[in-house]
A and B are shown apart, each in its own frame.
Chain A
Amino acid sequence: GAGVSQSPSNKVTEKGKDVELRCDPISGHTALYWYRQSLGQGLEFLIYFQGNSAPDKSGLPSDRFSAERTGGSVSTLTIQRTQQEDSAVYLCASSLESTSGTYEQYFGPGTRLTVT
């Protein structure tokens, strides 16, 4: 079946511009996650959506970052007034809600954002 998809795959923008990154999770997955990965670094958690619960926004680095998830499916990560330090690969993942304590995150290919 179809996996997690993200668009665009690459985005080059000028400093100060706003960007929107899109994530289409696997159908039926109730949980959706956004991460950021700088070159050669580990994954940095940004935000987590679980069903109809309020999202966990504790990882968003500043108020320039926001995300929404419409209809429990597609999610958009918005970065306003981009800065050069925002340059990174933005990864989206989705998972099923598990009652057994186990879960597996399925990752998309990422969006490579370059701020010039």
Chain B
Amino acid sequence: LAKTTQPISMDSYEGQEVNITCSHNNIATNDYITWYQQFPSQGPRFIIQGYKTKVTNEVASLFIPADRKSSTLSLPRVSLSDTAVYYCLVGAPNTGRRALTFGSGTRLQVQP
């Protein structure tokens, strides 16, 4: 199974940029990198997905180096409402369980 490693927790303050790094040393050629956000008592919510280099949307950026063995989720100017657990997934459709392994995630706590 594709294994991902993330920090267990991170702390930040409102207005700061937060970078959460995920290691995925055995990523396969066809794999994509996907990040989800989960608030308490809710199901996870898709944030961003990428294959290489940089992807940006309205909520986050995803940086993927050339070797693709890691990725960094960047949240600009976080607010209290960004306090959540963030999961990194590696995989692709039709690769079975590889694509469906959510790790323990990174618990981000944003303080005023």
Residues of A at the B interface (CB closer than 8 Å) are 4, 31, 33, 35, 41-45, 48, 50, 56, 58-59, 91, 93, 97-98, 101-110
Contacts and interface: CB of A to CB of B under 8 A. Distances in A.
B111 interface: no
B42 A109 contact: yes
Contacts of B42: 107, 109-110
B93 interface: yes
B97 A58 contact: yes
Given A56-B96, A58-B96, A97-B93, A104 B46 contact: yes
B102 A106 contact: no
A107 B45 contact: yes
Interface residues of B, number: 25
Nearest to A92: B43
Given A107-B44, A107-B45, A109-B42, A42 B103 contact: yes
